[in-house]
Amino acid sequence: MNCRSSSMFPFLFLFLFSFSWIASADRHEDFLQCLHYQNSNAISKVIYTPINSSYSSVLQFSIRNGRFNTSATPKPLVIVTPLNVAHIQAAIACSQKHGLQIRVRSGGHDYEDRLLSYMQESFPELGLVKEDCIEMSWIESTVYFAQFPRNTSLEVLLNRSPRPTSFFKGKTDFVKEPIPKTALEGIWERLDQVDAGSAELQFTAYGGKMNEIAESSTPFPHRAGTLYQIHYGISWDEEGIEAYAKYISWIRRLYSYMAPYVSKNPRQAYVNYRDLDLGVNNLGNTSYRQASIWGTKYFKNNFDRLVRVKTAVDPANFFRNEQSIPPLSSW
Ligand SMILES: *[C@@H]1O[C@H](CO)[C@@H](O)[C@H](O)[C@H]1NC(C)=O
Ligand SMILES: *[C@@H]1O[C@H](CO)[C@@H](O)[C@H](O)[C@H]1NC(C)=O
Ligand SMILES: *[C@@H]1O[C@H](CO)[C@@H](O)[C@H](O)[C@H]1NC(C)=O
Ligand SMILES: *[C@@H]1O[C@H](CO)[C@@H](O)[C@H](O)[C@H]1NC(C)=O
């Protein structure tokens, strides 16, 4: 249950992308003028449109999955790389004024660890000893998870040049009851299939202190009652629709196979490993009923509370994405 391979996961960014689904040159000009008007304070240094020679490299810089690096992937009209709060405010105010949609680049993970003594008590058959473990500071673990060789200097974290990316798809489950041995054998069989490519499963232990945190304490509801989370991932390097179909189908089949062994009604999912297979909002028209399908998987009963917050702070649904929380006005 060693967690490896995080190169496929995005790390923290603060890039604002402004999209317009109805591409309009005027709108985009008005938006740029608005930005300069709102914030003359050197904002042009952080605005990129396709005419800027560095537009492509700035866009590419934050792509961490080849599936979103195709000619069919919508490209932002404008990229803003804000350096301060005023830049963010100007980008939001002007997008709203001129009918552009904002997409924010960001990400983050919240893994917790395990204890050696607990492993020896609960899983003595694994024979885990201190020598099998590597003790390191949190910052060193970031370098480890990014798969740099041991003892690589922390300076490597200052290197922001993108590393080569492959195509990737992930899904998640939460496990409430021990999975029977036969089910684990079924997982092994699937991992041996050719279509598994470089698939991997990560099991993140819950329990302990996490068991004391009720569903309603924070928007993330999956702590109390969860034994562990499974993250299924598959990555591949071959370009093209055939490879895409093969590997996506493999992970979807594995996900179907796992249904009897994981949380149910709803089958819970982790919002930080967003999975668009669970459903998406209609473009420009979010419906509460539709969004409840994935919203309750990610947030359980907290979904309704989030809808109330959304309704209070963004009734016009300005901040939206494929799986955003809808305001209550939209049924
Ligand atoms: C992009 O091009 C515009 C127009 O020439 C310029 O004003 C802006 O400063 C450029 N952006 C960057 C980040 O250099
Ligand atoms: C990493 O550095 C430590 C301390 O300098 C050393 O004891 C250890 O052998 C090194 N490990 C590797 C894999 O180089
Ligand atoms: C995206 O695709 C382009 C050309 O197809 C390639 O040069 C670039 O390295 C890719 N970027 C990423 C982040 O995969
Ligand atoms: C959004 O939903 C409303 C009400 O159901 C409908 O009238 C409108 O045509 C929809 N708009 C789009 C863009 O689908």
- Regarding the beta carbon of 193 and ligand 3, being less than 6 Å apart is answered no
Residue 12 has pLDDT above 60, yes or no: no
Q: What is the pLDDT of residue 15?
A: 53
Model confidence at 44, pLDDT cuts 50, 70, 90, reads confident
29 vs 276, which has greater pLDDT?
Answer: 276
67-109 pLDDT tens trace: 888 888 888 888 998 888 888 899 999 988 988 888 887 544 4
Share of the chain above pLDDT 70, in %: 88
Going from the Cα of 57 to the center of ligand 3, the distance in angstroms, rounded, reads 9
The closest ligand to the CA of 59 turns out to be 3
**Which protein residues are within 6 Å of ligand 4, measured from CB?**
282, 284-285
Q: Are 286 and 324 in contact (CB under 8 A)?
A: yes
The closest ligand to the CA of 78 turns out to be 1
Residue 11 has pLDDT above 70, yes or no: no
Model confidence at 37, pLDDT cuts 50, 70, 90, reads confident
- Regarding the beta carbon of 151 and ligand 2, being less than 6 Å apart is answered yes
Going from the Cα of 107 to the center of ligand 1, the distance in angstroms, rounded, reads 27
In the chain, the domains with their CATH numbers are: 4-105 (3.30.43.10), 114-164 (no CATH), 166-271 (3.40.462.20), 279-330 (no CATH)
Residue with the nearest Cα to atom 11 of ligand 3? 60
Can you state the angle between helices 288-299 and 302-313, rounded to 10 degrees? Answer: 130
Burial 211-225 (b: 16+ CB within 10 A, else e): eeeebeeebbbbbeb
- Regarding the beta carbon of 201 and ligand 3, being less than 6 Å apart is answered no
Q: What is the pLDDT of residue 6?
A: 32
C-alpha–C-alpha distance, residues 181 and 170, integer Å? 24
Residue with tokens 């702070």: 313
Model confidence at 295, pLDDT cuts 50, 70, 90, reads very high
Q: What is the mean pLDDT of residues 124-140?
A: 84
Q: Tell me the pTM.
A: 0.74
The closest ligand to the CA of 153 turns out to be 2
- How does the average pLDDT of the chain come out, rounded? 84
Q: What is the pLDDT of residue 183?
A: 96
Q: How many CB atoms lie within 10 A of CB 59?
A: 19
Determine the residue of 151, 152, 153 to mutate for testing ligand 2's pocket, defined as the one with the most ligand atoms within 8 A of the Cβ atom: 151
Tell me the three state secondary structure of residue 57: helix
Model confidence at 301, pLDDT cuts 50, 70, 90, reads very high
Strand order in the sheet with 228-236: 167-175, 228-236, 198-205
Strand order in the sheet with 78-80: 47-48, 78-80, 15-19, 101-105
Tell me the three state secondary structure of residue 69: coil
Instruction: Show which residues are catalytic.
Output: 273
C-alpha–C-alpha distance, residues 69 and 167, integer Å? 9
Determine the residue of 69, 73, 235, 239 to mutate for testing ligand 3's pocket, defined as the one with the most ligand atoms within 8 A of the Cβ atom: 69
Of all atoms in ligand 2, which is nearest to the CA of residue 150? Answer: 13
